[in-house]
Each structure stands twice: as C-alpha cells, then as structure tokens.
Chain A
Amino acid sequence: MARQPALRTVRCYHCSKEFEVGAKAITVSCPHCYQRVAIEDMVVRSSHSGGKVQTCGKITIAERARFTAMSVQASGGLEINGVLNASQISTDRIHLGPGGRMRGDCRARTFTMDAGARIEGGYFEIGVQPTDADAEADTKAPSPPSHAA
C-alpha cells in the first residue's frame, strides 16, 4: 500500500493565499499567483544582516542573535528571542520571547510577547486583515518604465 505523502499548508507571501506543499519542499511556485516562493524555515543563530528576507515558513531568531534586514516576510510566523531590526516586518504571528527585542514597522495577524521583551518603536498593524486590494497590489508586477519622450 502506497504511503500518503506528508503535506503541509503554507500561505503565499505574494498573494496571501494558502496552498499545500510537500513537507520537505524548499521552494515551489504558488498555484494562485504563479510566483516562486521559498517555503523553508529559517533560524538565525548569530549576527546576520540581509536585504529582503521572504519565506512561507517560520523564522526563528535565537537568543543572543542579531538580525538586521530591510524587510522580513515570514508567513509561517516569527519567533524572536534575540534582536530584530527591520524596516518592515510582515508575518502571520509574532512571538517575542523574554529576551527578545525588536524595532521596525510591523504587520501581523496575532502578536504575543513575554515579560521582559522590548519593542523599541515602530508602526504596528496587529489583527488587521490585509484587504484584497493590498494583496493585488503586492502581486502586481511593476510596470515597465515608459520611454515616451
């Protein structure tokens, strides 16, 4: 008897729609918006800086780790036990651990934090569902520059 492949549900960070992927998959194309999406979980264990970090999985920032980025999108959630500095943080749920510190504009469906955690400023949108217009705007490819004189 053939075994059923293990599946998991992920949410596309381009169009915010859910779909199922194999449990061990790392990158796939979204069946709704046809854009390539990374679905791996990430763990930051030390000091790291990056430009734009996107994944459908979960990002974990370990204790004593420092993560600096322009933009962080983690559809699977964000667990912060170290330091996160990002201009834009967009995720499904954020958990700020007891030693966690974060700074940056943040949009999430749910937000929890333990005693001792710190938020060092930023514009927050918690529990606000993204509208369809927002999702469309995100998925829309940038229009080519016009060469009209």
Chain B
Amino acid sequence: MPDSQITIIASDARFKGEMHFEGAARIMGACEGSISTPGTIEIAKGGRCNARVDAQRIMVDGHAEGELIGRERIELLPNAHVRADIAAGNLIVQDGASFVGHCSVGPDAVTKAGTGAQQQRRTAPETPPSRSEPQPEAIETRPVRPASQPAKVEAAAPAQHTPPKADLQSDWMRLAQGATDTQKRTG
C-alpha cells in the first residue's frame, strides 16, 4: 500500500476513543480505546497502544496492551513488548520480542474471538441488574392461569414448605390445564 494511504498517529499524538480505518495505520504515538481496520495496523517502535485492536494484519514493534485480534496474522518484531490477549490466524514472534498474555492461534481462534467480541458488544449497553434490587418472584413470570382453575390447584399445593420439585410439577400441571382449557375454548 502506498504511504499516502497510511494513517499515521505521530509520536507526539495521543488518541483516546474508537478508531476505524479503511486502509492501513501506523501508530507511533499513544492510543487508548478500540481500533479496527480491514487492513494493517502497525504499532511502531516507541508507539504505545492500550486498546482492543482488530485488524487483518497487526505488526507490533512497540508497546501493546489489551486485546489483539489479527485475522490473518500478528507479527511481534524485536522491540515488541506485548501484554495482551492474542487471537490470530498466524503468529510470528521474532527474537527479542516479549509477550505475556493468553494466546490462541489458528483459523478457529479468530472466529471465536470475533463472535465473542460481537456478543460482548451486544450485551454491553444493557445494564446488569444490581443484586440489591429485589428479584421478581417466580410466580410473576408464570403464564396467567385460567380463571376456571385456581382454587383447586392452590388448595392442593402445600402452603409454605413446598419443595422445589413439587412446585415445578404444579407449574407443569397448571400449564397443561391452561393449554387444554384454551383448546376447549377455541375448539
């Protein structure tokens, strides 16, 4: 790729956030956040990257932390200091490079990493329910019981010391009864 199509983050630049390139990028400064490209990312000597990097090819000759996903390959050059989790189609570690982190290499590794990241992105915006909030009771999630049934089933169920198995059975009974009722009504 000609130099004119390479995005360069110069050594005096610092970037924090989400970056996407269509071509190649060379990072000589500092980056933090998330970087993605269908092309090549090069973390040059002196460059620092604390990010999730997702690219076709990744070459590291500086410092990298976070997560590196190289769909085709990841190359760690002699001055590379990597403290990150790596998923790559192929990994090349040159003499002098150092790498600490979890590593999986192969075609499956990249697809797994990709799907994992997608799932993470999907679930990320939803705030997890805090434990301090009262959990909804199981009875509220059940389907609404038909009006013809309740008294009998409620009476049949033990009041307080219901073992979970018996509770489950009664649930199934109610569901089955509800289904037969709706069949009678519609049929």
- A residues lining the B interface (CB < 8 Å): 110-113, 115, 117-128
Which residues on the A side are within 8 Å of B91 (C-beta)?
113, 119
CB of B106 within 8 A of CB of A126, answer no
Contact pick for B103, options A112, A124, A127, CB 8 Å: A124
Measured CB to CB, the nearest residue on chain A to B86 is A124
In contact, B98 and A120 (Cβ under 8 angstroms): no
Q: How far is the CA of A115 from the CA of B108 in the complex (A)?
A: 14
Query: Cβ of B8 < 8 Å from any Cβ of A?
Result: no
Distance (Å) between the CB of B85 and the closest chain A CB?
Answer: 9
CB-based nearest A residue for B102:
A123
A118 engages B100 (CB within 8 Å):
no
Q: In the complex, A118→B87 CA distance in Å?
A: 11
B105 CB contacts on chain A under 8 angstroms: 113, 117-119
**CB–CB B92/A113 < 8 A:** yes
Find out whether the CB atom of B93 lies under 8 angstroms from the CB atom of A126: yes
Sample of 8 more A-B contacts, CB < 8 Å, known A113-B90, A119-B103, A121-B103 = A110-B95, A112-B92, A119-B106, A124-B100, A124-B102, A125-B99, A127-B93, A127-B96
- Complex A-B: 9 CB contacts under 8 Å: A112-B93, A115-B90, A119-B104, A122-B102, A122-B103, A124-B86, A124-B99, A126-B97, A126-B99
**Contact with A125, one of B92, B100, B104 (Cβ below 8 angstroms):** B100
A98: shortest Cβ distance to chain B, in Å?
11
Interface size, chain B (Cβ < 8 Å): 19
- DSSP class of A's interface residues: helix, strand, loop or mixed? strand
Contact of B99 among A113, A120, A121, A127 (CB under 8 A): A127
| B113 CB, nearest partner CB in chain A, Å | 11
Contact B90 A128 (CB under 8 A): no
Within 8 A of A (CB), among B102-116: 102-106, 108-109
Contact across chains for A127 and B104 when beta carbons are under 8 A apart:
no
Kindly list chain A residues whose C-beta atoms are within 8 Å of the C-beta of B106: 117-120
Tell me the minimal C-beta distance from B32 to chain A in angstroms.
Answer: 23
Is B101 an interface residue when CB atoms closer than 8 A count as contact? yes
Contacts of A112 in B (CB 8 A): 92-93
Q: How far is the CA of A123 from the CA of B108 in the complex (A)?
A: 18
Of B86, B95, B103, most A-chain CB atoms within 10 Å: B103
Q: How far is the CA of A113 from the CA of B97 in the complex (A)?
A: 14
Q: Which residues from chain B contact A120 at a C-beta distance below 8 Å?
A: 104, 106, 109
Q: Name the 10 nearest CB pairs between A and B, nearest first.
A: A127-B98, A118-B106, A119-B105, A126-B99, A124-B103, A111-B93, A121-B104, A125-B100, A119-B103, A128-B98
- Specify the chain B residue showing the minimal Cβ separation from A129: B98
In Å, the complex CA distance between A80 and B32 comes to 36
Measured CB to CB, the closest approach of chain A to B115, in angstroms, equals 15
- Say yes or no: B93 contacts A128, CB within 8 Å: no
A124 neighbours in B (Cβ, 8 Å): 86, 99-103
Query: Nearest residue in A to B78 (C-beta to C-beta)?
Result: A127
